[in-house]
Amino acid sequence: MVHNTNYKEAMSLINAEKWKASMEEEYETLMGYCTWKLFEQPPNVNIVGLQWTYRVKQDNLGQVDKYKLRLVAQGFSQITGVDFNKTYSPTI
């Protein structure tokens, strides 16, 4: 399993086109689910950043099966009582 730490590194690799295609697919999926809405930033409001996480998934023989991306929130930048009051964690 190979992990790429950031966008710049992933785009410098020989398989950059596969990462781009996977990124576009994930983005279209998120947009299709209406995952977010854009708003003007209110004054004195902390904006939570985002980052892509990269992972090469392999099959049982060790061959590349999929270039998997996730767009994740940088929740560590939030401040309890300022950015949120309750913690919610859905479980299955």
Count of domains observed in the chain: 1
Q: Please, are residues 23 and 52 in contact by the beta-carbon 8 Å criterion?
A: yes
Beta strands in the chain (DSSP E): 50-58, 64-73
The stretches in the chain having pLDDT less than 70 are 1-5, 87-92
Query: Is residue 49 domain-resident?
Result: yes
Task: Look at residue 51 in the predicted model and tell me its pLDDT.
Answer: 87
Q: Tokens in use for 5?
A: 């730490």
Q: Tokens in use for 75?
A: 């929740």
Q: What whole-number distance in Å separates Cα of residue 8 and Cα of residue 5?
A: 9
DSSP structural state of residue 20: H
Query: Is residue 56 domain-resident?
Result: yes
Kindly report the length of the chain: 92
Segments forming the whole domain that contains residue 62: 7-77
Query: Is residue 42 domain-resident?
Result: yes
Query: Is residue 2 domain-resident?
Result: no
Query: Is residue 86 domain-resident?
Result: no
Task: Look at residue 1 in the predicted model and tell me its pLDDT.
Answer: 47
Query: Is residue 36 domain-resident?
Result: yes
Is the overall model pTM greater than 0.85, yes or no? no
Query: Is residue 34 domain-resident?
Result: yes
Distances (CA, A) of 72 to 16, 60, 76: 20, 27, 11
Query: Is residue 33 domain-resident?
Result: yes
